[in-house]
Structure 1
């Protein structure tokens, strides 16, 4: 089909990459140091890249081109956003060990709280994006620490405005200790805080 689409003058292009950043559809990329129209079906012809180019290397032209594929663009944008989350740490506070966290730490106020067994982050590949994002994270292992976390957790629940609690544990029996500690602490806190338990298999599958 004949439609309006951008063209890039490689002689004028100074390789700054500003146009590639300005193109929300991902139609422009840098190849050998020069801006290049990578996917003409990703170019919507609206020209967000034109005013961004300091060298005046981008113009419009009317020519035969693939139809703008909005569905493909949205799918690519969604994948890029997910990949960004995967690549970024979602840890919102420090420390993360239950036994080291201060009961009245300011990050607990209004928090969605994740309480996870130590092994879970190694068993589940997308742990940061799936479980930690948007939550305050506490971790522990009742077998290795040989302590009952329920007293500490009771004080955390009682002293702060915790919105929700998510427990992530492994399917192995020793992980039952962290689930038990959380349930005991919730009961002892005197508060009704929405909670859920997610159990992982040893190969990282979510069992429930």
Structure 2
């Protein structure tokens, strides 16, 4: 099948290993002082390793490649964890630590941290209903459609707007998303893990063809959500415009991790 997958320029690679630590699928290793992709099946093509590379040796290309296989990734990570345990970490390959939400049960399976099942326990205070307002809550959504794939690039609502580009799950994880983020912004949503293709081309067209005042990216803390950040960064560069932008990261427990 033809899909997005990473490409490593060995001439640029300095063997620092930052990409290995950044890859939560365990798809990369350092061999003979250079980063290597172990198998196409381990690479989800989202490019979480790209921002970590100090020499820009890693790019995303579209080519014939084996499909991403989460079960193989799980097996690989389990083998690496077992090797680390046997050697007490002395010579074990690095297995990235993925923080979980406070009071969350252990994950039910390995593989992508964004797919791990966990139950989130709320404190007693959070379960107490707030006083009911005399006015019902209203949506702050300013346009339709809101899916990145569906919006026309020359829609009139893009003119002179502040843009929110949000990962799908943020709307369910963060309770006050309408008042805190959607209000007074044009909102675009998508899932970099489940949606087909790359958003960067569509977003580049939107930024290039319209007068966008600012861009705010709202993503989850799970690694697979990094794809939406990479797409926006690429679009900002390709547009040739200087547009103020910022990132807010939401935890799986609904708390803001970074703003």
Structure 2 counterpart of 1:122: 172
Partner-residue secondary structure (3-state), 1:145? coil
Match of 1:173 among 209, 213, 223: 223
1:146: how far off? 2.6
* Count of residues paired in the alignment: 127
Structure 2 counterpart of 1:109: 159
- Which stretches of structure 1, 4 residues or more, deviate above 6 A after TM superposition? none
- Matches of 2:134 and 2:240, distance apart in 1: 40
1:94 paired to 2:144: yes
Structure 1 counterpart of 2:184: 134
Structure 2 counterpart of 1:43: none
* Residue pairs, 1:1-208, within 5 angstroms: 87-208=137-258
Q: Alpha-carbon deviations, 1:80-136, whole Å to 9, x = none?
A: 9xx689811000000000000000000000000000000001000000000000000
In structure 2, runs of 5+ residues without a counterpart are 1-130
Partner-residue secondary structure (3-state), 1:87? coil
1:147: how far off? 1.4
- Matches of 1:85 and 1:198, distance apart in 2: 29
TM (normalized to structure 2)? 0.48
- Matches of 2:200 and 2:193, distance apart in 1: 14
- Matches of 1:204 and 1:157, distance apart in 2: 29
Partner-residue secondary structure (3-state), 2:181? helix
- Matches of 1:177 and 1:121, distance apart in 2: 17
- Matches of 1:139 and 1:175, distance apart in 2: 12
- Matches of 2:252 and 2:238, distance apart in 1: 31
Partner-residue secondary structure (3-state), 2:218? strand
Largest Rg, 1 or 2: 1
1:142: how far off? 1.1
RMSD between superposed Cα atoms in Å: 1.6
TM (normalized to structure 1)? 0.59
- Matches of 2:134 and 2:187, distance apart in 1: 20
- Matches of 1:164 and 1:133, distance apart in 2: 14
